[in-house]
């Protein structure tokens, strides 16, 4: 394996940077290419067929161009829909992102867990299976929170987050029978941990937030533990669509060791 061969992190937008942040703690010298499909954002409002075709097609082209040692789909929506298809077509290891229901089930004290995700994620059979396997003796209350994706994208670009939509999501969850007993919140979108402070204000400090970033990073590090790394410069941040889509991210990218955004 060429030591300069990168890890390719893929997401619809900037949410996968939460996975990147966790990965850098474990593999600080690993070269990374982060690919944001800004031209396809948001995924949560698209059909399963649209997401599967787009993700598989883009990752096929990106893998051919960048020759990564491993691909991580750092997006819950894309993973729950397209992970199997992508693994079938790529010849490199592919790590997906799934809602952190298992650790949430181990953490909850009341037995009632809230789950916030995109519309596409919360309706997937994959999530039903995770609930059946790891939280069958718990109460899992799901709610779609598509507006949080845009809020997280805007926050990373320096925009102040409006607390009203987040408070409204908390109120909707609390209004579901049993919702008042939620003590653990699954952030089933990699964008949502970027709003951890705002979510804490809306749900209260006693509601634990659980996401999968650290677990994904550990999985990647395990798969690559025998490999060597050599960076030849800053990590790369590439976007689909017009390069103007990355406007406002300069500070966030520079702080994470990325060079200027590039067009795919």
Residues designated as active site: 75, 189
Strand partners, 73: 10
Provide the token pair at 233.
Answer: 């410069």
How far apart CA 262 and CA 14 sit, in angstroms, is 14
């Amino acid at each position: 394996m060429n030591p300069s061969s990168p890890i390719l992190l893929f997401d619809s937008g900037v949410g996968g940077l939460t996975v990147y942040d966790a990965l850098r703690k474990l593999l600080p010298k690993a070269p990374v290419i982060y690919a944001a499909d800004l031209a396809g954002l948001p995924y949560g409002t698209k059909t399963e067929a649209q997401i599967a075709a787009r993700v598989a097609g883009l990752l096929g082209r990106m893998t051919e161009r960048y020759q990564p040692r491993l691909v991580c789909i750092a997006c819950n929506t894309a993973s729950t829909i397209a992970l199997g298809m992508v693994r079938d077509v790529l010849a490199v290891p592919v790590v997906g992102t799934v809602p952190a229901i298992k650790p949430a089930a181990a953490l909850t004290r009341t037995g009632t867990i809230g789950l916030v995700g995109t519309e596409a994620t919360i309706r997937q059979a994959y999530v039903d299976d995770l609930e059946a396997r790891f939280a069958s003796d718990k109460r899992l209350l799901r709610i779609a929170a598509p507006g949080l994706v845009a809020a997280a994208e805007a926050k990373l670009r320096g925009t102040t987050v409006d607390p009203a939509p987040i408070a409204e999501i908390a109120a909707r969850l609390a209004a579901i029978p049993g919702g008042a007993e939620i003590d653990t919140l699954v952030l089933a979108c990699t964008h949502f941990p970027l709003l951890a402070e705002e979510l804490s204000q809306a749900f209260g400090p006693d509601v634990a937030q659980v996401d999968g970033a650290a677990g994904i990073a550990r999985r990647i590090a395990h798969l690559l533990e025998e490999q060597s790394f050599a960076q030849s410069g800053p990590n790369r941040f590439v976007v689909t669509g017009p390069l103007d889509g990355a406007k406002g991210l300069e500070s966030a990218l520079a702080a994470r060791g990325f060079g200027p955004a590039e067009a795919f």
